[in-house]
Amino acid sequence: MKFDYIVIGAGSAGAVLANRLSENPQSTVLLIEAGKKDKGMNIHIPVAYTKLNNSAVDWAYWSEPQKEFLNRRLFLPRGKTLGGSSSTNAMIYIRGNRLDYDKWAALGNAGWSYEDVLPYFKKSEDNQQFQNDYHGKGGALYVSQTGYKTVLADAFIQANQELGYPYNEDVNGEVQDGVTRAQFTIKNGKRWSTAQAFIKPALSRPNLTVFTEAQVSRILIENNKATGIEYWDTKGNKKIIQSNREVIVSAGAFNSPQLLMLSGIGDKDELKNQGIPVVQHLPGVGKNLHDHLFFHVASLASQKVSFNNAETLGNLLRYFFSKKDLFL
């Protein structure tokens, strides 16, 4: 079996790449995903997202003991299904900061300045609220502010303003600073993951093939060129697929460097310690991870205004029949 492009990982990045690459009917594209299809109900009900942690659609990683946290280990959820972490995340639509993109460009990454990436954000977006220089309409990614307003959010916004933080209606616009009501990738009461937005509309293309439950174990490299992949199929057998043009590694912030190292690309001493033949000494691979910590700050509410008691029969019926109300 041979494809022009092999895209490893059907997450936020891989879904978009598979869609865009298969727009050209002359190119054959394989999108290969370790997780299952995104079928579980909890994936699609926005407020159920916390139930996805440590579930069948989560890699459910734990950090090493962190000395800054009294040697506690931190839970590191990552989506493992079509849509990747966009099928398990909190659905808040928030772009990176202009300064970060500009820094990447200044470091020599041509095409990554904010002015360079903004047209792609706009092309992708179907924003329901904002129509201006920073937002797009008609793209695949549905973005909206939720109609559901809680008194807790109002109080939080007010408290921030009392502390001197400005209210910013659009933190994806000209300025990112300030307190806001989040914009979400939720459409008609359902999670609008990259699987919904980018994979499903492309599935009918004959030049796009999607494998699920297929975990890539190694990138095949010949003469310094990626020529294909080795993966485990659903029966645990190792198989090989060749690529005519490119192998794209979009397996997420943890698994992409892991896969590169399994393929011999990384710090040569670490690779040797693991018995992996060195293809390319690249000491930065798998280093300097920056992540936001995953922990909950819980408070007792004096009134019934939280999501804590959300799962009542009345709320479920209202959600399933009207696709709105408490479940966003």
Ligand X SMILES: Cc1cc2nc3c(=O)[nH]c(=O)nc-3n(C[C@H](O)[C@H](O)[C@H](O)COP(=O)(O)OP(=O)(O)OC[C@H]3O[C@@H](n4cnc5c(N)ncnc54)[C@H](O)[C@@H]3O)c2cc1C
**Contact positions with ligand X (CB under 6 A) in 207-236:** 215-216
Q: Given the DSSP bridges, would you call strands 280-281 and 61-62 parallel, antiparallel or unpaired?
A: unpaired
Rg (CA), the chain: 21
Is 125 a binding residue for ligand X by CB under 6 A? The answer is no
**Number of continuous H segments (helices) and E segments (strands) in the chain:** 9, 15
The residue within the footprint of ligand X, chosen from 5, 6, 7, 13 (CB under 6 A), is 13
How far is it, in rounded angstroms, from Cα 310 to Cα 314? 9
The answer to whether residue 22 forms part of the interface with ligand X (CB under 6 A) is no
Q: Assess 145 for contact with ligand X (CB under 6 A).
A: no
Closest contact distance (angstroms) between CB of 88 and ligand X is 6
Candidate segments 17-25, 81-89, 171-179, 314-322, binder of ligand X by CB under 6 A: 81-89
**In whole angstroms, how close is the CB of 274 to ligand X at the nearest point?**
16
What is the CB neighbour count within 10 angstroms for residue 85? 22
Query: Interface with ligand X by CB under 6 A: which range of 39-47, 84-92, 104-112, 296-304?
Result: 84-92
Identity (one letter) of the amino acid at 106?
A
In the complex, minimum distance from the CB of residue 136 to ligand X, in angstroms, rounded to a whole number: 17
Q: Binding segment for ligand X among 80-88, 121-129, 137-145, 236-244 (CB under 6 A)? A: 80-88
Of 163, 184, 190, 189, nearest to 172 by C-alpha is: 184
- DSSP, residue by residue, 47-64: GGGGGGTTSTTB--EEPP
12 binding ligand X? (CB under 6 A): yes
* Residue nearer to ligand X on the CB measure, 4 or 213: 213
Site string for ligand X, 259-278 (x = CB under 6 A): x-------------------
Count the site residues for ligand X by CB under 6 A.
32
Binding flag, residue 8, ligand X (CB under 6 A): yes
Asked if 189 touches ligand X (CB under 6 A), the answer is: no
**Contact flag: residue 84 with ligand X (CB under 6 A):** yes
Q: Return the number of the residue (78 or 181) whose C-beta is nearest ligand X.
A: 78
Residue nearest to ligand X (CB): 11
Q: Is 92 in the site for ligand X (CB under 6 A)?
A: yes
Distance from C-alpha of 236 to C-alpha of 242, rounded to nearest angstrom: 19
User: Minimum distance between the CB of residue 71 and ligand X, rounded to whole angstroms?
Assistant: 23
- Pick from 76, 81, 91: nearest CA to 10: 81
32 touches ligand X by CB under 6 A: yes
Least separation in angstroms between residue 217's CB and ligand X is: 7
Sole binder of ligand X in the list 3, 6, 7, 11 (CB under 6 A):
11
Burial class for 120, CB neighbours closer than 10 Å (0-12, 13-18, 19+): middle
Burial class (CB in 10 A: 0-12, 13-18, 19+), 245: middle
3-state secondary structure 85-97: HHHCCCCECCCCC
Tokens of 14: 């891989």
End-to-end Cα, the chain, rounded Å:
44
d(CA 85, CA 295): 17
Residue 79 binds ligand X (CB under 6 A): yes
Residues that bind ligand X (CB under 6 A): 8-14, 32-35, 77-80, 84-86, 88-92, 94, 215-216, 250-253, 255, 259
